[in-house]
């Protein structure tokens, strides 16, 4: 199975900060990676698909990048409504999720 390691597990940042979340795969996943946002008590919501494609309706402050085994989700200017847990997900083979990064306001 492909293991997905997210870092950090907890991130505290201020409104307006540029925030970077990381996801590392145990082997090449060929950019077959999505990012999801999950707020408390809600289902996950797709933010980014296939590494760097913004899902319809998602604010442009969210962006994704990466290749091979290393992937990044960036929030260019953190907003209060971005407080949530973020999961990466690889669907290259034997689909697996990362453990999540909990993003909170400082």
Partner 1 sequence: EVQLVESGGGLVQPGRSLKLSCVASGFTFSNYGMNWIRQAPGKGLEWVAYISSGSSYIYYAETVKGRFTISRDNAKNTLYLQMTSLRSEDTALYYCARGATVATWGQGVMVTVSS
Which one among 1, 14, 16, 60 touches partner 1, defined by CB under 8 A? 1
Nearer to partner 1, 75 or 88 (CB): 88
Please state the closest distance from residue 77 (CB atom) to partner 1, in A: 26
**What is the Cα–Cα distance from 71 to 94, expressed in whole angstroms?**
18
**What is the Cα–Cα distance from 103 to 106, expressed in whole angstroms?**
10
Of the candidate spans 14-22, 42-50, 58-66, 69-77, the one that interacts with partner 1 by CB under 8 A turns out to be 42-50
Pairing between β-strand 10-13 and β-strand 62-67 as defined by DSSP bridges: unpaired
Nearer to partner 1, 55 or 69 (CB): 55
In 3D, which of 103, 71, 97, 61 has the Cα closest to residue 85? 103
The reply on whether position 44 binds partner 1 by CB under 8 A is yes
Please state the closest distance from residue 43 (CB atom) to partner 1, in A: 4
**What is the Cα–Cα distance from 83 to 94, expressed in whole angstroms?**
29
> 3-class DSSP state for residue 1?
coil
Q: Name residues contacting partner 1, limited to 87-106 (CB under 8 A).
A: 87, 89, 91, 94-100
Nearer to partner 1, 43 or 60 (CB): 43
């Amino acid at each position: 199975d492909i293991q997905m390691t997210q870092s950090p597990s907890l991130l505290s940042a201020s409104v307006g900060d540029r925030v970077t979340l990381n996801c590392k795969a145990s082997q090449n996943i060929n950019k077959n990676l999505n990012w999801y946002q999950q707020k408390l008590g809600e289902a996950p919501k797709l933010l980014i698909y296939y590494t760097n494609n913004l899902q319809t309706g998602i604010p442009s402050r969210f962006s994704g990048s990466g290749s091979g085994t290393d992937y990044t989700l960036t929030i260019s200017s953190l907003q209060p409504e971005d407080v949530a847990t973020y999961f990466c997900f690889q669907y290259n083979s034997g689909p697996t999720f990362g453990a999540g990064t909990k993003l909170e306001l400082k």
